[in-house]
Amino acid sequence: MSTGSAFNYISTLSGAAGIKGDKGDKGDKGDKGDKGDTGAQGPQGAQGPQGVQGVAGPQGETGVQGPRGEQGPQGIQGVAGPKGDAGAKGDKGDKGDKGDTGVGISQVRQTATSTENAGVNTIEIQLSDGSSTTFEVRNGNAGVLSEDLYTKS
């Protein structure tokens, strides 16, 4: 009979009062039990203060240039500046083209003759382009001024 069975048997025989003996020596430590299940997660704690900013990292490479934007509107015209100094005299220009043939005198002739005092002589001048013109010349006389000839006639 095992120790546990004997104890149960004796307890049954003696009734409720039972036989009580001296306390026995302490037994050896038992084996470690199996690990229990993980408990439920507790509530999240309050957020802590923000940490100190870290040191800036090195500058990255320059990116590719973007496309050129549209041209903006024309700006307002600025105020005119002061007049500048005169420039240096330029070089002599090229010789020009030969001009058209000019008109010359081809003939001079007297068409009317007078020998009288204050008489009228008519002179005709013919030009090389075929045109002609006439003018009159009054005769003078000794002692008569030309002023007198024009005022009297």
pTM recorded for the entire structure: 0.31
| Residue 153 predicted with pLDDT over 50 | no
pLDDT tens string 89-113: 999 999 999 988 899 999 999 999 9
Is there a contact between 138 and 148 (Cβ–Cβ < 8 Å)? no
**What are the two backbone dihedrals, phi and then psi, of residue 126, each rounded to the nearest 5 degrees?**
-100, 135
Contact by Cβ (8 Å): 104, 131: no
**In what helix (H) or strand (E) does residue 15 lie, and over which residues does it extend?**
none
How high is the mean pLDDT of the chain?
83
Percent of the chain with pLDDT over 70: 79
Residue 54 above 60 pLDDT? Answer: yes
- Sorted by where each begins, the domain ranges of the chain are 104-153
What's at 22, amino acid-wise? D
Q: Bridge partners of 134?
A: 124
Are the beta carbons of 128 and 108 closer than 8 angstroms?
no
